[in-house]
């Protein structure tokens, strides 16, 4: 049996499940016309609410053009026609939302099936870090979709009664008010479900529902730790199994951790434009041909998925990749390091929303160990001050070159080989800073001797603000839910007052 077949059989998968086939079919419809593409889940309720408002506004007063031209042949008032049209559009929204809700339930069922399969394979995915938070977000999505769908059912039922009773009496008007409020409430609930979307068809479909709760403060294997931190538990289990398989094909004389880092570094270079032929030549320097086939042709981890994971990690931590790119450019053009015997680079996002990811890279170029203190100070972020003491061992090889280097040639005397060794032997610190206010903020980074003498320092200016799309979506959702609840309560109070003749 091939190793790749063994890996695939041990990876939690529901690829052959009829459940996943149904989800794949509905997801294609959902992405094209329901929740994405045409976005019928948003257009239909807005259209229905607008038409129903028109029905309320024109009750008892038909426009002249309608009264003279259309009403004699149609036999209905303008208000009644709008009410009927709005109810039909509301039923269409109910159908669309029902299909969307069914697709979500299929995704949840496929997720549950994958977890059950992993338990049968004795893989403790539920014990992996971040699983509880992801499962909670998925359950919250299910509850919100159910509440939204229930609200639409009640609103359409109310509109059915209004069609029977009409708007010319108090009961019809009160039911109409409550039905309109239920539609508004359902719209607000549905808007809140668009943040943590998930599916099980795409192998990266759970990434948006996953938020890494913690991360290493010091990255041992830089690229490996960065990628693993961003992976959801299901994808992480596949990643670990794949890497263990690939490591079994590492060439003699090449260390496993170096091979893993060079593979990931090469995939990142391919993401930035390296051609496929050069990428495979770089792989051949550290792993055998069978390992390359497992890495690129594995069903659970295709090359497209690798590029998606790099794109996701780059979106989450742009400062890390910017720092790596800057070091790579310095090595390519042979620029000297910041200090004579020490490589020091620091980077932070220019625009901060939820949190700031500060990355600092240090590498000792001397032949003696060096003790340094890395200090971060900022009045605008928590914690206000961080001080970490590092014992920097001398580099095992001279990875830093004062001469320009080619991007990729045979051996490790190119940017890829040098960068892999430099990142592996160096020290990469990753600190999360939480903003305390919006607006311009400053972060001061210092590298000091143990005695307190300054070796090098940087001051970084950033802008802290809310993400516009998230803030807009949240504002619309909260406003719609609040307005819908108030209108429902107002209609109920009016009906109670009519019942008790107050």
Total domains in the chain come to: 3
The three state secondary structure string of 332-343 is HHCCCCCECCEE
Q: For residues 331 and 37, is the Cβ–Cβ distance under 8 A?
A: no
Chain position carrying tokens 């976005």: 39
424 inside domain: yes
For residue 359, the model assigns a pLDDT of: 96
Q: Are residues 66 and 160 in the same domain?
A: yes
Which pLDDT does position 15 carry in this prediction? 47
Positive or negative, the CA dihedral 44, 48, 49, 50 is: positive
**Residue 211: both structure tokens together:** 């938020």
CA dist 162 and 269 (Å) reads 63
β-bridge pairing 370-377 and 454-464: unpaired
Residue 111 in any domain: the answer is yes
Q: How far apart are the first and last CA of the chain?
A: 82
Distance CA 422, CA 327 (A): 10
Of the three residues 296, 316, 336, the one that is the final residue of a domain is 316
Residue 269 lies in a domain: yes
Buried b (16+ CB within 10 A) or exposed e, 240-271: ebbbebbeebbeeeeeeebbbbbbbbbbbbbb
Give the Cα separation of 389 and 362 in Å (integer). Answer: 12
Q: Are residue 309 and residue 329 in the same domain, yes or no?
A: no
Assess whether 39 and 105 both reside in one domain.
Answer: yes
Q: Where are the beta strands (DSSP E) in 319-426?
A: 342-347, 351-352, 356-364, 370-377, 381-382, 385-392
Q: Model-level pTM?
A: 0.87
Inter-residue contact 261 to 224 (CB < 8 Å) = yes
Find the farthest-apart pair of alpha carbons in the chain and give their distance in angstroms, rounded. 99
pLDDT at 464: 93
At how many degrees (to 10) do helices 3-10 and 233-247 cross? 160
Task: Kindly report the CATH number assigned to the domain that includes residue 339.
Answer: 2.60.40.10
Q: Are residues 48 and 191 in the same domain?
A: yes
| Of 253, 285, 316, the domain-final residue | 316
Residue 76 is assigned to a structural domain of this protein: yes
Structure tokens given for 267: 């995939």
CA 99, CA 337: separation in Å to the nearest integer? Answer: 58
Q: Is residue 1 part of a domain?
A: no
Count of Cβ atoms closer than 10 Å to residue 450 Cβ? 10
Q: Are residues 73 and 153 in the same domain?
A: yes
Nearest CA among 233, 239, 232 for reference residue 208: 232
Residues 38 and 145 in one domain: yes
Q: Do both 59 and 197 map to the same domain? A: yes
Alpha carbon 207 to its chain's center: 5
Same domain, 187 and 231: no
C-alpha R_g of the chain: 30
pLDDT of residue 502: 61
> What is the distance between the alpha carbons of residues 357 and 285, in angstroms, rounded to a whole number?
33
Q: What is the pLDDT of residue 321?
A: 96
Nearest to 215 by CA among 376, 430, 441: 430
- Expressed as residue numbers, the domain containing 428 is 317-465
DSSP reduced 3-state for 13 = coil
Helix (H, G, I), strand (E, B) or coil at 428: strand
253 shares a domain with 180: no
The DSSP letter of residue 192 is: G
Residue 2 within any structural domain of the chain: no
User: What are the Cα distances from residue 442, in Å, to 361, 375, 471?
Assistant: 20, 14, 24
Tell me the C-alpha distance between 134 and 101, whole Å.
19
Residue 463 makes CB contacts below 8 A (sequence gap 6+) with 350, 351, 352, 439, 440, 441
CA dist 80 and 84 (Å) reads: 6
Distance CA 79, CA 66 (A): 10
Question: Has residue 97 been placed in a domain?
Answer: yes
Structure token digits, residue 195: 């943040």
ω into 383 cis (within 30 of 0): yes
Q: Quick one: DSSP state of residue 166? A: -
- 278, 300, 316: which is the final residue of a domain? 316
Quote the pLDDT of residue 5. Answer: 43
Q: Cite the beta strand spans of 180-245 per DSSP E.
A: 218-219
Q: Is 43 in the same domain as 163?
A: yes
Task: Kindly state whether residues 305 and 327 are assigned to the same domain.
Answer: no
Check residue 414 and report its DSSP letter.
Answer: S
- Tell me, yes or no, whether 166 and 144 share the same domain: yes
Q: What are phi and psi of 22, to 5 degrees?
A: -65, -40
Give the per-residue pLDDT at 1. Answer: 35
**Segments in the chain below pLDDT 70:** 1-16, 396-398, 408, 411, 502
Q: How far apart are the C-alpha atoms of 23 and 103, rounded to whole Å?
A: 6
């Amino acid at each position: 049996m091939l190793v790749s077949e063994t890996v695939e059989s041990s990876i939690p998968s529901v690829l052959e499940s009829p459940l996943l086939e149904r989800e794949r079919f509905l997801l294609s419809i959902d992405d094209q016309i329901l929740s994405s593409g045409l976005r019928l889940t948003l257009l239909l309720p807005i259209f229905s609410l607008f038409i129903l408002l028109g029905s309320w506004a024109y009750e008892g007063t038909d426009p002249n053009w309608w009264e003279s031209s259309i009403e004699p042949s149609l036999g209905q008032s303008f208000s009644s026609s709008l009410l009927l049209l709005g109810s039909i559009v509301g039923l269409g929204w109910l159908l669309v939302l029902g299909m969307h809700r069914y697709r979500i339930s299929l995704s949840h069922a496929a997720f549950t099936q994958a977890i059950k399969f992993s338990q049968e394979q004795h893989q403790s995915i539920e014990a992996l870090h971040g699983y509880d938070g992801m499962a909670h977000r998925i359950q919250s999505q299910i509850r919100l979709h159910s509440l939204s769908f229930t609200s639409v059912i009640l609103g359409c039922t109310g509109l059915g009664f209004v069609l029977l009773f009409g708007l010319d009496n108090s009961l019809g008007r009160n039911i109409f008010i409550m039905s309109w409020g239920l539609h508004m409430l359902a719209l607000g609930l549905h808007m809140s479900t668009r943040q943590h979307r998930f599916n099980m068809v795409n192998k990266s479909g759970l990434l948006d529902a996953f938020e890494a709760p913690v991360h290493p403060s010091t990255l041992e294997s830089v690229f490996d730790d960065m990628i693993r931190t961003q992976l959801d538990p299901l994808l992480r289990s596949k990643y670990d199994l794949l890497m263990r398989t690939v490591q079994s094909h590492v060439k003699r004389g090449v260390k496993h951790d170096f091979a893993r880092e060079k593979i990931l570094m090469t995939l990142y270079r391919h993401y930035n434009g390296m051609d496929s032929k050069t990428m495979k030549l770089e792989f051949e320097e550290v792993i055998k041909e069978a390992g390359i086939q497992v890495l690129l042709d594995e069903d659970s981890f295709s090359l497209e998925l690798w590029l998606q994971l790099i794109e996701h990690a780059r979106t989450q931590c742009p400062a890390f990749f910017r720092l790596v790119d800057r070091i790579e450019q310095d090595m390519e053009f042979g620029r000297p390091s910041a200090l004579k015997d020490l490589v020091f680079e620091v980077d932070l996002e220019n625009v901060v929303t939820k949190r700031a990811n500060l990355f600092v890279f240090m590498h000792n170029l001397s032949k003696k160990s060096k003790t340094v203190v890395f200090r971060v100070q900022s009045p605008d972020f928590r914690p206000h001050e961080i001080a970490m003491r590092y014992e920097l061992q001398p580099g095992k090889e001279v990875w830093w070159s004062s001469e320009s280097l080619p991007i990729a040639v045979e051996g490790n005397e190119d940017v890829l080989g040098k960068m892999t060794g430099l990142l592996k032997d160096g020290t990469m610190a990753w600190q999360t800073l939480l903003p305390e206010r919006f607006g311009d903020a400053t972060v001061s980074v210092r590298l000091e001797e143990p005695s307190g003498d300054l070796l090098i320092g940087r001051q970084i200016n950033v802008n802290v603000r809310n993400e516009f799309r998230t803030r807009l979506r949240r504002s619309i959702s909260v406003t719609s839910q609040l307005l819908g609840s108030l209108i429902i309560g107002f209609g109920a109070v009016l009906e109670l007052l009519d019942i008790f003749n107050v």
